[in-house]
A and B are shown apart, each in its own frame.
Chain A
């Protein structure tokens, strides 16, 4: 019986085998990274010992003894450094979230305007984009802060409306005083949002099935607004409104938007919006002209062409660079230190200075920024996957 001798499997050297070679390289890289981290860590420990420094987190629970200008949770100097850092973190998240939302809205609007057929409008926004994009953000922050600080003092505050004042202490507006009777209102509001989402989906299905277009937006708005109102009415409107009143040096009552917050928000939003505008414009231009022409041939009006045909396709191009802008905005918010907005870096710096724990504090804020950035880009990647064109 003759068999075809299969040649004995040539013993290829492992460096010629791409799989093994890849594994070996990865192992080497991993070993290198571990070595660098280990060397850095042991060297740091040796340095800290030599300088009589200790590594530890006990400072987090010690009283901070300094005050923080503003925060989403109350903070007194008797509270701990740990709480001060949380106040700073919440302030960072507040500016990042509000900033990202506003910068996106403004950026999209400006990007679309720059493509307008009205030359005045297009040139005007082009000028804005070029000026804002090409000057340093820090300079813009100083400019906004200086402008806000030239507003009159609290005793000569500009009245903006009933109970609303604008001064160099910020903007004061009346606000509902929180009490437990407001919980039903909050739940009614949440339930309203859920109902609105469900209703919008049902209406969309119906429109796709039957072709008639029910007024989705008014129905959704009504579903969100009416339940909280009813919840208030049933309890006989128990909420008290706190109105800002000038008392002593400053206004008390109401809520305030501090000059530092407003200056930082203005600076970040206007700066980032200019970049987003260019990204949006690029995305729209990337959609082929034929799409416009086809949509027009169907008789769609321009705003709808933009909303229903162009933007959904442009999003594929827009999302990845947009993610970078969101990350930039979040990290740029650390420029807050320059104008005294107590964000994470600002509070960390003070903590570092008062405790001498440079390594620990820097470790904390590096990890926090890393986490925020990874979460943001994780979310955006998920969203990008959803809007990506599905090739069939």
Chain B
């Protein structure tokens, strides 16, 4: 809110008074010169995706994606500064250079990719869809029964736009309650200010864990939009684009080949499959090709965090408070949408 105005103001001020930007490769050069990558995460916290612990150390699905990128660039997962951003402040923060990459469930859309924002979405890390949560006592079973409802929604999101589209499409009306701070918005829903709460499904599941009585709330079956989520960077730096993309691809490929945190060293020692040997850097060349600090960047990442599936299960999976099924986020060989180009 206030921070957001300040940030937006800063973004505008930076445009007015700041130095003029340089040529391609600039973002990666700046990150290397600084010695850390600045990663924008949903603030103050988003359970499962990015949460600071009691010592202030960030953990979570999106956080480990950033740490994996840090391994690729610096060969060191600790060289990340996490910057909490809101849905409103994230784009000014990225445009302005306050963060180098957003890892906060930002949806890849045409206008964000091309329009005045000019961002790049190197890879998708989570396939989501917008969902609607209602208190169980309302006995609502379908989103189509929500005519006249008051809806809690975050501003500046695709969610806000999809909501208006969905109600319009189904000839229903609604009243939005639009609060930027996720904690305030959730409190308003929990207190009954809104009938329903809408967000991406995974984010709703995360917010549900923070309600007074999570069991009293159900997420309706409809998915009213496609929300491909992934790390977001400024357009114009091909080298950084490659690094982010191939960091994510390494995690996905590793799961496809059954390479885990536990067996990665053993597989690297004994693998005969040339695809695996190239991915892990046993046959050299792939890491240096993408500009990684270490040719065996994929092996280091898997050793630190495991493959995509392991990261998912640790923070979002069925054994976590979020309890998400893999669903669309399974590897393509298991009926999901995760499909990475080959490392060769």
Contact = CB atoms under 8 A, between A and B. Distances in A.
Interface of A: 40-41, 43-44, 46-48, 50-54, 65-70, 77-78, 138, 142, 145-146, 149-150, 153, 168-169, 247-250, 252, 259-260, 334-335, 337-340, 342, 345-346, 349-350, 352-359, 362
Contacts of B212: none
Contacts of B178: 69, 340, 342, 346, 350
Contacts of B164: 65-67, 77
Contacts of B179: 338-340
B238 interface: no
A358 B95 contact: yes
A67 B21 contact: no
Interface string B191-209: 1110100000000000000
B160 A337 contact: no
Interface SS of chain B: helix, strand, loop or mixed?
mixed
B46 to A, nearest CB: 18
A362 B9 contact: yes
8 contacts: A66-B176, A67-B175, A149-B192, A250-B150, A334-B5, A340-B179, A346-B178, A350-B155
A44 B15 contact: yes
Contacts of A47: 14-16, 18, 20-21
Which 4 residue pairs spanning A and B have beta carbons closest together? A353-B156, A356-B116, A77-B164, A340-B179
B56 interface: no
Contact of A150 (B116, B160, B191): B191
A345 B5 CA distance: 8
A358 B150 contact: no
A356 B193 contact: no
Contacts of A149: 187-188, 191-193
Interface band, chain B:
35 or more
Contact of A52 (B8, B118, B185): B118
Contact of A43 (B17, B118, B177): B17
A378 to B, nearest CB: 26
B110 interface: no
Nearest to A334: B5
B2 A43 contact: no
Contacts of A54: 116
Contacts of A50: 20-21
Interface in B228-252: 234-236
Nearest to A251: B148
Given A40-B17, A338-B1, A338-B184, A349 B8 contact: yes
A236 to B, nearest CB: 34
Nearest to A156: B192
Contacts of A51: 15, 21, 95, 118, 234
Contacts of B121: none
Given A40-B17, A342-B178, A249 B195 contact: yes
B165 interface: yes
Contact of B176 (A52, A67, A146, A358): A67
Contact of B177 (A142, A340, A350, A359): A340
Interface in B146-180: 146-150, 155-156, 160-161, 163-165, 168, 174-180
Nearest to B149: A249
Contacts of A153: 192
A77 B168 contact: yes
B117 interface: yes
B193 A168 contact: yes
A168 to B, nearest CB: 5
A247 to B, nearest CB: 7
Contacts of B195: 249-250
Contacts of A168: 191-193
Given A249-B195, A340-B178, A349-B180, A65 B88 contact: no
A359 B16 contact: yes
B95 A138 contact: no
B91 interface: yes
B155 A346 contact: yes
Nearest to A51: B21
Given A47-B15, A50-B20, A358-B11, A69 B176 contact: yes
A40 B16 contact: yes
A281 to B, nearest CB: 31
Contacts of B165: 65, 77
A66 B148 contact: no
Given A43-B18, A247-B148, 6 more contacts: A41-B16, A47-B15, A77-B168, A169-B150, A249-B148, A338-B180
